[in-house]
A = this chain, B = another copy of it.
């Protein structure tokens, strides 16, 4: 019997009725404090994808991180706010006891054929993933070992020796370490794989955590299936650090140059 993929274990939801599910944080996806934000994004999105009344496919996801999720069961509930002809809006809460630990809004839509164009420029990578080494760091949090991340030369994380850099840009190939055909749930999980830009800029660790994350999906399920088990090209950069918060953005592209998702976050940090 085939063992379940770690992502499917971590995002397994047991239906308890009324659009609610029970889940359990997976030790394999732990971060420094609580679970990896990406796995929370995946769980929040899956709570909508698993609804029998769902219309179409996700196009927008915003996840807010309210408190560190504890290592015991949680209840995730999706409330349908509105269904139109082509779009559907959901509000999702992840609760532990009476405390809300994470909230999300999800917009689903039926895509139609339309005029199409990508105005953003594909950041042509100079190296194929096969020619690069995967990131390995035994001291890094558990979740990093769930991903095969290959940083392009010149975009390595660095020595973390406290010598600041002028840029917080990353460029890397990323996929699930244990191969798995890409879908919206795994893509949502990948959106948070870009470590806090403040680490890169200042080349040191400090307390930091995502407060709010928004992702726009630029493709349908068939396109994701066609990406299959291949790496995505991720490019991330910060915008502004100010008053203990900063914004970072990233794009995820297929190797063939299709923009599959854009993702943004506001991150809390301490000096």
Which chain B residue has the least Cβ–Cβ distance from A214? B214
- Asked if A244 contacts B117 (CB within 8 A), the reply is no
Instruction: Check if A243 sits within 8 Å of B271, measured CB to CB.
Output: no
A205 CB, min distance to chain B CBs, angstroms = 14
Cα distance A101–B243 in the bound complex, in angstroms? 34
**Given known contacts A64-B89, A266-B59, is B211 in contact with A109 (CB within 8 Å)?**
yes
Report B-chain residues with C-beta under 8 Å of the C-beta of A218. 239-240, 242, 247
A238 within 8 A of B: yes
For A118, list chain B residues within 8 Å (CB): 239-242
Q: A66 touching B89 by the CB < 8 A rule?
A: yes
Q: Point out the residue from B112, B115, B212, B241 that lies within 8 Å of A62, measured CB to CB.
A: B212
CB distance from A78 to the nearest CB of B (A): 13
A-B contact pairs, 5 of them (CB 8 A): A64-B89, A66-B89, A82-B100, A111-B244, A114-B244
Q: Is A216 an interface residue (CB 8 A)?
A: yes
> Per a CB cutoff under 8 Å, which of B93, B103, B119, B237 touches A240?
B119
B107 and A82 within 8 A (CB): no
Q: Return the CB mask of A44-77 against B: 1 if under 8 Å, else 0.
A: 0000000000000001101010110000000000
Given contacts A211-B60, A238-B119, A240-B120, A114 and B269 within 8 Å (CB-CB): yes
Could you say how many copies of this chain the assembly holds? 2
Per DSSP, are chain A's interface residues mostly helix, strand or loop, or mixed?
strand
The range of chain A's interface size is: 35 or more
Which residues from chain B contact A238 at a C-beta distance below 8 Å? 119
Q: Which residue in chain B gives the minimum CB-CB distance to A110?
A: B244
CB nearest neighbor in B for A93:
B81
Query: Is there a chain B Cβ closer than 8 Å to A140's Cβ?
Result: no
A220: chain B residues at CB < 8 Å are 243
A242 CB contact (under 8 Å) in B81, B116, B270 = B116
- Measured between alpha carbons, how far is A151 from B97 in the docked complex, in Å? 53
Chain B hits for A251, CB < 8 A:
239
Closest 3 CB pairs of A and B: A111-B243, A66-B82, A60-B212
A107 partner, pick from B84, B262, B266, B269, beta carbons under 8 A: B266
- A57: nearest chain-B partner, CB-CB: B243
- A268 interface contact, C-beta 8 A: yes
